[in-house]
Chain A
Amino acid sequence: MNRISAVFLFFTLIFALIILRLYYWQIVMRSSLKIEADSQHFFKFSLPAIRGEIRTQDMTPLVMNEKVYLVYAEPKNIENTATFAKAVSEIMTVDLTTLLTKISDKKTFWVPIKHKVNEEIVSKLKALKIKGLGYARESDRYYPESSMSANMLGFVGLDENGNDKGYFGLEGYYNRELRGKDGSLLQEKDVRGAPILVGEITRIEPENGRTLVLYLDRVVQHIIEKKLLDGIEKYGAKEGSVILMDPKTGGIIASASFPSYNPQNYTDFDKSYYKNSVVGSSYEPGSTIKALVMAAGIEEGVVTPDSTMDEQGPVRVGEYAIRTWNNEYHGRITMTQILERSSNVGMVFVGEKLGKNKLLKYVHDFGFGEPSGIDLEDESSPELRKSSDWTDIDLATASFGQGIAVTPLQMVRAVSAIANGGKLMEPRVVQSMKDDHGSVYPIQPKVVRKVISERTAKLVSDMMVLAVDNGEAKWAKPKGYRIAGKTGTAQIPVAGHYDATKTIASFVGFAPADNPKFVMLVLLSEPTSSQWGSETAAPLFFSIAKELFIHYDIAPNGY
């Protein structure tokens, strides 16, 4: 009986041990064994979504994709670490010491060496036939027009997880739409790695990113970039910007700022170049704002184009004396002549007629002090003082564009409101998006508000035409065209006072004045050939306008 019990106990123990062992393999080790088995039986990899392209209004690509590689090392499989590091670092131009440190830990299974390596270098590496070196496909951005509209486009870099991410401009703003959604593939494989068709297959297709179609006209963009670079050199300016808007839609036809960078190799440039100064930097607009203040005065009925004021001499506001730009005074002059002669004294008169509340209302209504809502990541808007903080001298100087900060985009949008009959538009860079299946998603132009009436807009347009025809910059104007515009020269505030030697010269206008095809702002920072907008920014504006008239096939009057 004892022997039977002993045998029974023995078998029970053995049986219990088997159960325990089974429990260990089936329950405790289940997940890790499943992963190991899956890796032996299945392909499982991500199907990366292709990032959307960016195209101009005529569907020419500005940004495309290019096949590149992530080059990685498998330290476990490297036969000779020193030889490996030397050979690879020479071809890939990576630091030898850094690479040695990366691959010296033999316990590490996988170490990335470099992202976005092009096909040529990978071919050279493959020719080495070296063990422990691997390649994974990646995508990089390709710019057929090189650095054209770099500040508007932005660039694609890597996020903290090593994934592609758009930064600045359109790449940053539309990152989600451009990125798309990755898919995945799980497929049973045989011992040689070929797929087993009768096996298990789970495939989730990637959703490729959407293609952005812009309002941008690449010919106009080419013209303004070329002309702006020439202008910066000719007038000895430190920086310069040009922006063109379609007043009917608010679409940005072209925009350029220099100095700029090349998004293909953005890391070679100083980070300060990444910012799009057209939407992200502010300046004091100077006399270009006079057309807007005059529009406010006419809309409110406090002045008309033919109203007069007596420009006897400097006007006193509190303890300050405000002079004209050339310290010349013309006695009784009309409002039209105030714009033609760009009279600060005359504008103080209009500002006083309007009064604080109405002047500030129009400053806000024309879109200053608030972001315009443009679809670019880097937009910022300088804040305006609170209504209660405005003193008499602040109001007086604001009426001729000093003591108030705006962005170039805000200024061109405000003038667009005069050009299109009084409507303030929301500026847009993208006019539609297109997905992989060919569906098009148009983005409709948006009217933010009606600032002035059509009648006022027409009157101010005519006054701006006369300001061009009879103003300081009339010598540069192309003959036979009705161009509405206004020059501006603003001193640059430095540490609480204005630097008399440094100015921002600008010219804003639209043409043809009766049916504007474009509104354009030209801005030159610290020009050295002359500090005046009429001698620098205005001739550059007209020089660009001449090219645009040919491009748009706009004949001079009488033709």
Chain B
Amino acid sequence: MNMFVKIAKSVLVAACCIVFALGLTEIIVANSMVTLGKQVKTINDELDSLRYENEALERKIASASSLSTIEVRARGLGFVERAKTVRLSQESLSARLGSLR
């Protein structure tokens, strides 16, 4: 009988310890997660800011590669529109090469 009471007491103490430990763990985890909220907000803000920066860069690339910008820059560098387009045919090229031999 004494043996049974002893075991019951041990189980009760162990159960209490487990409950206490779990409770303590939950409090610690919840506490750390609550404080993590601030960090999450900071990371989210940073993410937003990087996303907007990325979009701004995409817009800059698109503007810089627009045809009107390229045309203005090409003119600025001294390029002019071609006056005439000359096409070389296979036959005329062969004839020319033949005459050179």
Contact = CB atoms under 8 A, between A and B. Distances in A.
Contacts of B59: 64, 66, 142, 144
B40 A218 contact: no
A65 interface: yes
A67 B55 contact: yes
Contacts of B65: 60, 144
B66 A145 contact: yes
A390 B25 CA distance: 92
A395 B30 CA distance: 87
A197 B59 CA distance: 35
A192 B66 contact: no
B89 interface: yes
A436 to B, nearest CB: 14
Contacts of A145: 66-68
A546 B41 CA distance: 59
Contacts of B34: 190, 196-198
B87 A197 contact: no
Contacts of A218: 67
Interface in B11-39: 30, 33-34, 36-38
Interface stretch (A347-355, A376-384, A551-559): A551-559
A550 B85 contact: yes
Name the prevailing secondary structure of the B interface residues: helix
Interface in B42-99: 52, 55-56, 58-59, 62-63, 65-68, 71, 85, 87, 89
Nearest to B41: A194
A175 to B, nearest CB: 22
Contact of A198 (B33, B55, B85): B33
Interface string A206-232: 000000000000110010000000000
Interface size class of A (residues with CB under 8 A): 20 to 34
A293 to B, nearest CB: 37
Contacts of B38: 192, 194
A81 B41 CA distance: 34
A193 B38 CA distance: 9
Contacts of A550: 85
A546 B67 CA distance: 19
A508 B56 CA distance: 42
A195 interface: yes
A31 interface: no
A530 interface: no
A485 to B, nearest CB: 21
A313 interface: no
B9 to A, nearest CB: 36
Contacts of A146: 66, 68
A61 B62 contact: yes
A559 B89 contact: yes
19 contacts: A61-B58, A64-B59, A65-B55, A66-B59, A142-B59, A144-B59, A146-B66, A148-B67, A189-B37, A190-B34, A193-B41, A195-B41, A196-B37, A197-B37, A197-B40, A550-B85, A555-B89, A558-B89, A559-B89
Q: Which 10 A-B pairs have the closest CB atoms?
A: A144-B62, A194-B37, A194-B38, A197-B33, A222-B67, A195-B37, A559-B89, A144-B63, A145-B66, A144-B66
Interface of A: 60-61, 64-67, 142, 144-146, 148, 189-190, 192-198, 218-219, 222, 546, 550, 555-556, 558-559
Given A60-B62, A194-B38, A556-B87, 18 more contacts: A64-B59, A66-B55, A67-B56, A144-B65, A145-B66, A146-B68, A148-B68, A194-B37, A194-B41, A196-B37, A197-B34, A197-B36, A197-B37, A197-B40, A198-B34, A558-B89, A559-B87, A559-B89
